[in-house]
Amino acid sequence: MAEKFDQRGKSKNPNKLRNLSQYKGMTDEEFSLRMSEKEQAVGTSKRLEERIDEKLAKFSDDYDLSDMKINDREILRALIQAIISLEDYEQYLFQTREGGINPDNLLVIDKIQKTMSDLRKDISNFQNDLNITRKHRKSDQETSVVAYIDSLKEKARKFYQSKMNYVICPKCNTVLGTTWFLYPEGNNQMSFTCLQKDANGNACNTKVKVSSKELIENRGTNKKDVVPDSLL
């Protein structure tokens, strides 16, 4: 049978370990007990890693972890371990209190509760370091919603501007009106009177007649030289 080695390359064969100096003075019963303890420790460590991986998978469902730096990954691992520890203490506290609180377990319960309180603080600090608290998530969501609404408004404005026709006073270049035609090919006729006042308070009084056909042929205006290209 091939000899087994641990992750550090050391032999896991009990017979060879029996000859090590730290085990030579032990009885066979003591040595067997120590080997059982080591195997149990390995099993516990393996289960802990499995629980960490399970939590990590859940975090991956809620957050994009692909671009995390090494220090953020270490913080995330510490956060997960703190969460697991808190879960274990909650179970232990429940079991301790299940038979009622009495002078014999009162001190133990008090210490467990203090430890759990410290763990909650650590978890909160880790979450702040990673910007994944509920406050940060809510803030990000609100920012995204506001940005989305603003983008819709901007698209609506541009759409409105792209569809509107601008009637300009040929004398003073004042915008007299914006129009939209359901049937522009119908050659609809419109008349405007410019009432824009000059520096002396005198109205322009220029009369403008345009048709929908004329505006469409001129890319949406009767005076292209004063309308920005972005609106045409």
Q: Which residues are registered as beta bridge partners of 165?
A: 179
149 and 81 part of one domain: no
Does some domain include residue 74? Answer: yes
Does some domain include residue 9? Answer: no
Does some domain include residue 222? Answer: yes
20 and 111 part of one domain: yes
- Domain hosting 93: range is 14-133
pLDDT tens sequence for the chain (232 residues): 444 434 444 445 556 666 666 666 777 777 677 766 666 655 557 788 888 889 888 888 877 777 778 888 888 989 999 999 999 889 888 888 877 777 777 888 888 889 999 999 999 898 888 877 555 555 566 667 667 777 777 776 666 656 688 899 999 989 998 888 888 788 789 999 999 998 899 999 999 999 988 888 888 888 888 777 666 5
Split into its structural domains, the chain has a count of 3
168 and 158 part of one domain: no
Does some domain include residue 47? Answer: yes
42 and 126 part of one domain: yes
Count other C-beta atoms under 10 Å from residue 212's C-beta.
20
Structure tokens at 148: 């989305």
